[in-house]
């Protein structure tokens, strides 16, 4: 691990280290003005909406209403949309507000957000033997060479490579780490136990004891093995990968698994009704309402930035700043598709012009998170990449490249000045027009060797 959040309070050598803002201080800073609250209440009451609840800072109001009423409230029309993979959402492409509320309300969701919380682990998971880069050289450092090979990279290799192998925790029992699950993903405890017994035996018992937190009817971590059908549907694949790595790396830190469901709370027949929730926002508002937070939260789910409107991206990003101010580092995967998509015909803008573009990922593009990219090899570690085609196991595998690029929504933060200028200069105009160099650059801050094996 090389770099923490761009934040003095997170820098151990800085005199403000550890002086984070409290839950109350953050809420006080972000709470809306009384005038904003008055005007929004007035509008809701006038439209017959009289039951609602608030986030602790009152910067979010939750209401539960039927589609017909929502359509009147927002002068819009909801439709059922289907993704090419078959999944459906209830969304709209446009909504309205009385003019005097345009500056009082930043966003209302679900409306125009088409983000899918897609797990970022591509199909490396299918590989029994990896695609080996032709010029790969095994490590020459004796200590590393003893425990690290190209594939699989084990927990012991990670801990040696990143220097935590002999670390003695100074405050055992106080440090906490969380990881997020969406799309009904949940960790499978027996699998995790098996993994830990093999790769970090001292942590094995934690497979049964780590805390499972369910949000919006998300599934709890499973004590039972997967059924054949669940296995075929790859249930728990991403969640297991995350749980095994987190538990294996951070023992004896306390581990929290957050599973956010996809169904709206008041809909009993959710088997047949489409998913109308916006799980990311539900999760973010849940975590911000907690008075005690893990010091680190890892999130391996994201989507193309342009699948969400700018207003939504900005508010979710501001929520991550609130976590940061409270001392929580939010780790986000940089993506699995390099600068865009495995299929170049998908690399087009979403503004109706269909211009060619690279595709940055959200929330990786938010300047308040710590983006984690994938590396492979050891001396040096390089950005992970694999061509598509038939792998050594005889099966067809997709393209993989660790995500990067430039945001279209977030301006370049001050801490990237200089570094990014040099980088852009060295590009010498390569692929100019496919990205905006004045914006936030998704340079993975921390990298993690990708060639791991999952159970």
Partner 1 sequence: MKLEDPSSKLVSPNPRNSLKLSFCSSIVNYTSEMLGFSAFLSLALGAQAAFETPVRARTTYSVKESHSVPSKWSQIGRVDPSHMLHLQIGLKQGNFDELERRLFEGTSLHDLVRSI
Quick check: 215 binds partner 1 (CB under 8 A)?
Answer: yes
Query: What is the smallest separation between the CB atom of 248 and partner 1, expressed in angstroms?
Result: 25
Quick check: 371 binds partner 1 (CB under 8 A)?
Answer: no
Query: What is the smallest separation between the CB atom of 405 and partner 1, expressed in angstroms?
Result: 17
CA–CA gap between residue 373 and residue 358 (Å, rounded):
17
Q: In which residue are the tokens 């017994």 written?
A: 197
Residues 304-343 that bind partner 1 (CB under 8 A): 304, 306-309, 311, 315, 318, 321-322, 324-325
Quick check: 216 binds partner 1 (CB under 8 A)?
Answer: yes
One DSSP character per residue, 10-59 reads G-TTSTTTT-PPPHHHHHHHHPPPHHHHHHHHHHHHHTT----EE-TTSS
Residues 95-124 that bind partner 1 (CB under 8 A): 95-100, 102-114
What contacts 306, CB < 8 A, 6 or more positions away?
A: 349, 350, 359, 408
- Neighbour-count burial of 161, counting CB atoms closer than 10 A to its CB (0-12 exposed, 13-18 middle, 19+ buried): buried
Quick check: 398 binds partner 1 (CB under 8 A)?
Answer: no
Residues 147-176 that bind partner 1 (CB under 8 A): none
Q: For residue 344, what is the DSSP state?
A: G
Q: Which is nearer to partner 1, 302 or 391 (CB)?
A: 302
Among 210, 368, 378, 409, binds partner 1 (CB under 8 A): 368
Question: What values do phi and psi take at 241, rounded to 5?
Answer: -55, -50
Q: Show the site string, 9-38: x = touches partner 1 by CB under 8 A, - = not.
A: x-x-xxxx----x----x--xxxxxx-xxx
Quick check: 190 binds partner 1 (CB under 8 A)?
Answer: no
Among 188, 192, 255, 281, binds partner 1 (CB under 8 A): 281
Quick check: 352 binds partner 1 (CB under 8 A)?
Answer: yes
Size of the site for partner 1 (CB under 8 A): 125
One DSSP character per residue, 170-191 reads SSTTT-EEEEEE-TT---BHHH
CA–CA gap between residue 425 and residue 418 (Å, rounded):
10
Q: Which is nearer to partner 1, 74 or 147 (CB)?
A: 74
Among 18, 22, 80, 423, binds partner 1 (CB under 8 A): 80
CA–CA gap between residue 81 and residue 274 (Å, rounded):
9
CB atoms within 10 A of CB 453: 18
């Amino acid at each position: 691990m090389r770099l923490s959040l761009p934040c003095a309070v997170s820098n151990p050598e800085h005199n403000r280290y550890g002086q984070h803002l409290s839950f109350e201080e953050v809420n006080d800073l972000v709470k809306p003005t009384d005038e904003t609250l008055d005007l929004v209440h007035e509008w809701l009451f006038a439209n017959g909406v009289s039951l609602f609840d608030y986030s602790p800072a009152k910067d979010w109001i939750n209401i539960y209403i039927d589609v017909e009423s929502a359509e009147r409230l927002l002068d819009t029309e909801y439709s059922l949309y289907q993704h090419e993979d078959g999944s459906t959402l209830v969304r709209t492409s446009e909504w309205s507000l009385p003019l005097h509320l345009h500056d009082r309300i930043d966003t209302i969701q679900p409306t125009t957000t088409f983000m899918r919380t897609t797990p970022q682990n591509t199909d490396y998971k299918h590989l029994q033997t990896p695609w080996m880069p032709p010029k790969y050289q095994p490590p020459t450092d004796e200590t590393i060479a003893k425990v690290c090979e190209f594939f699989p990279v084990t927990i012991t290799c990670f801990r040696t490579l990143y220097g935590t192998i002999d670390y003695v925790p100074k405050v055992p029992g106080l440090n906490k780490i969380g990881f997020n699950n969406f799309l009904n993903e949940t960790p499978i405890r027996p699998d995790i136990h098996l993994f830990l017994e093999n790769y970090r035996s001292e942590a094995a018992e934690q497979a049964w004891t780590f805390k499972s937190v369910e949000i919006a009817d998300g599934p709890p971590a499973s004590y039972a093995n997967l059924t054949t059908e669940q296995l075929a549907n790859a249930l728990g694949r991403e969640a297991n990968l995350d749980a095994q790595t987190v538990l294996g790396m951070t023992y004896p830190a306390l581990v929290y698994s957050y599973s956010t469901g996809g169904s709206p709370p008041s809909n009993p027949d959710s088997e047949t009704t489409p998913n109308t929730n916006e799980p990311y926002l539900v999760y973010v508002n849940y975590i911000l309402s907690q008075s005690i937070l893990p010091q680190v939260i890892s999130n391996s789910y994201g989507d193309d930035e342009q699948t969400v409107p700018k207003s939504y991206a900005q508010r979710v990003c501001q929520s991550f700043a609130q976590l940061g101010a409270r001392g929580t580092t939010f780790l986000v995967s940089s993506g699995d598709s390099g600068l865009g998509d495995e299929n170049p015909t998908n690399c087009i803008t979403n503004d109706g012009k269909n211009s060619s573009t690279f595709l940055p990922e959200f929330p990786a593009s938010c300047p308040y998170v710590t983006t984690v990219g994938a590396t492979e090899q050891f001396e040096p570690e390089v950005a992970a990449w694999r061509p598509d085609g038939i792998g050594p196991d005889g099966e067809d595998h997709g393209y993989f490249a660790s995500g990067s690029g430039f945001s279209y929504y977030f301006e370049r933060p001050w801490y990237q000045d200089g570094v990014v200028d040099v980088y852009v200069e060295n590009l010498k105009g390569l692929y100019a027009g496919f990205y905006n160099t004045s914006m936030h650059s998704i340079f993975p801050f921390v990298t993690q060797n990708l060639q791991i094996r999952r159970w």
